[in-house]
Amino acid sequence: MNRRSIALAGAAALCLGAYVSAADADTKYDVGASDSEIRIGQTMPYSGPYSAAGVIGRTEIAYFQMINAHGGINGRRVRFISLDDGYSPPKALELTRRLVEEENVLAIMGSFGTPTNAAIQTYLNERRVPQLFIQAGASRWNDPQRFPWTMPFVDLLRSEAKVYASAILSDRPDARVAVLYQNDDFGRDYLDGLREGLGDRADRMIVTTASYETSDPTVDSQIIRLASSGADTLLIAAGPKFAALALRKAYDIDWRPTRFLAQVAAASPKALEAAGLEKAAGVITAGSFKSIGDSEWANDPDYLSWREFMRTDDPQGDAHDGFTFIGYSNAAFFAEVLRRCGDNLTRENLMSVATHLNGVRMPDLLPGITINTSPTDYEPLKQMQLRRFDGKQWTSLAKLGEK
């Protein structure tokens, strides 16, 4: 494979089916697009309690720099502007206003976090600015009737929690369940999804819950309180930092429940390392994505293309951090959506393309999982797989299943 082929492997690895371009014969532009440039914006927590996720944004920046070095998208360079919101909703709104009103971006892509995206959702929809493929899984993002300009990308949290509920009902029907959750839409969606999944058994099986604020220094008191309930099953609906604190504290007080871990935390090797790999061994998660370091992907073409990208185009990035694979795949996917827009780079057409995806692959998706959207259903991923961490890598527990 020559150097140019490697550089563009992210797009080729999408394994796209045939499609008809949504672009008209005549060139059409909205603010943020021209014959030479496409301006895209996002905010990311490069600082603050979720700073580990900032790696996603840094990798996306490197990907678009690579794309630009090889001619851009349909002959246009991508100006990708990624700003630090510190996981602060007011800051996210301030910076998003700047991106829209001063930087004149065509769209917002891949911004991270439930509270931060919630803070900008109404503003962007009122201005009819696409808020695409956000890195947040609250059920509110799949609401095309009220918020037609907002689309999620990651697995929706409520759907993920229902997968855990199904596993508990199947394998541990008499389980006593405790839940640690973040006190916002992110955490409450997990709790609500778990309750929905357990159905009429929820009140009996969920014996205790405890919440935390992202400003809390630890979750030690919450874990001690949950353990005292006698629960034998624990759902940790937390981000990487607080998941690590919870796993470590539970282990240190010799509490050994069956542990289900939110996908966003499971995707971060640094979170597991911070907890201690031996203390994280045995945790279960559900997701649609490949995990880096797994021998299963040693010869996978998409995985190898990402490794080559890290070596040649993002040498400062940490190839041991799973968020780099996520950022690489997200950018490759969005680049393909822009390609499909052709010369019709209007916000309306961008949304039309994004809401008519069928069988689209991404480099980091598990085999058999594809992206499918429609104007009435914005949730892009419809399948997940349960996996367990063995202290070194994630191993599959079951075949793919519908959410």
In the chain, the percentage of residues whose pLDDT exceeds 90 is 77
- The answer to whether residue 389 sits within a structural domain is no
Residue range 299-310: mean pLDDT, rounded: 96
Alpha helices by DSSP H, listed for 89-201, are: 89-101, 114-126, 157-171, 185-198
**Which range has the top average pLDDT, 165-174, 265-274, 388-397?**
165-174
**Best CA proximity match to 236, nearest among 187, 200, 197, 275:** 187
* pLDDT at 306 > cutoff 70: yes
More confident residue, 398 or 5: 398
Per-residue pLDDT, averaged over 377-384, amounts to 88
DSSP SS3 for 69: helix
Q: What pLDDT is stored for residue 398 in this prediction?
A: 66
Confidence of residue 25 (pLDDT cuts 50, 70, 90): low
What is the DSSP annotation of 252-296? HTT---EEEE-HHHHT-HHHHHHH-HHHHTT-EEEESB--TT-GG
Q: What is the token pair recorded at 250? A: 């539970």
For residue 298, CA distances in Å to 148, 159, 247, 305, 309 come to: 40, 30, 29, 11, 15
Q: What is the pLDDT of residues 317-336, one digit of tens each?
A: 999 888 999 999 999 999 99
Residue 169 sits in the same domain as residue 123: no
- Which of 287, 309, 332 is the last residue before a domain boundary? 287
pLDDT at 21 over 80: no
* Alpha carbon 78 to chain centroid, angstroms: 22
Q: Are residues 151 and 162 in the same domain?
A: no
User: What does the mean pLDDT of the chain come to?
Assistant: 91
Q: Which domain holds residue 104?
A: 3-155+295-382
Judgement on whether residues 274 and 376 belong to the same structural domain of the protein:
no
In a domain, 391, yes or no: no
Least confident of 185-189, 289-293, 323-327: 289-293
**Distance set, CA 282 to CA 135, 160, 247, 299, 305 (Å):** 26, 18, 11, 26, 30
- Please indicate, yes or no, if residue 392 is contained in any of the structural domains: no
Q: Are residues 132 and 184 in the same domain?
A: no
Report yes or no on 394 lying in a domain. no
149 with 164, same domain?
Answer: no
219 in the same domain as 275: yes
Say whether both 31 and 9 belong to one domain.
Answer: yes
**Percentage of the chain surpassing pLDDT 70?**
92
Question: Of the candidates 254, 270, 287, which is a domain's last residue?
Answer: 287
Task: Mark which of 287, 303, 335 sits at the end of a domain.
Answer: 287
**Do 271 and 371 share a structural domain?**
no
Into how many domains does the chain fold?
2
Instruction: Count CB neighbours of 293 within 10 A.
Output: 15
Is 90 exceeded by the pLDDT of residue 155? no
Judgement on whether residues 315 and 240 belong to the same structural domain of the protein: no
pLDDT tens-digit map of 159-179: 899 999 999 999 999 999 999
Per-residue pLDDT, averaged over 181-198, amounts to: 94
**Spatial distance between the Cα atoms of 160 and 397, rounded to a whole number of angstroms:** 15
Question: Does any domain span residue 228?
Answer: yes
Helix axes 185-198 and 114-126, enclosed angle (nearest 10) = 100
- The amino acid that residue 209 corresponds to is T
Give, in order, the Cα–Cα distances in Å from 357 to each of 19, 286, 312, 372, 394: 9, 23, 31, 5, 29
| Residue 197 three-state SS | helix
Same domain membership, residue 261 and residue 213: yes
Task: Note whether 244 and 318 are same-domain residues.
Answer: no
Q: Above 50 in pLDDT, residue 9?
A: no
pLDDT higher than threshold 90 for residue 301: yes
Contact at 8 Å (CB) between 124 and 108?
A: yes
Residue 22 reports pLDDT greater than 50: no
Q: Does one domain contain both 167 and 133?
A: no
pLDDT in tens, 47-98: 998 898 999 999 999 999 999 999 999 999 999 999 999 999 999 999 999 9
pLDDT at 7 exceeding the cut of 50: no
Could you give the 3-state DSSP secondary structure of residue 309? Answer: helix
pLDDT for 11 beyond 80? no
**Does residue 342 have a pLDDT over 90?**
yes
pLDDT of residue 384: 87
Q: How confident is the model at residue 18 (pLDDT cuts 50, 70, 90)?
A: very low
Which CATH number does the domain housing residue 90 bear? Answer: 3.40.50.2300
* Half-sphere exposure in the Cβ direction for 47 (13 Å, CA): 7
Q: Tell me what pLDDT residue 14 has.
A: 52
Is 272 within a domain?
yes
Instruction: Classify residue 393: in a domain, yes or no.
Output: no
Task: Tell me the C-alpha to C-alpha distance, in Å, between residue 76 and each of 129, 341, 350.
Answer: 20, 12, 15
Does residue 238 belong to any structural domain of this protein? yes
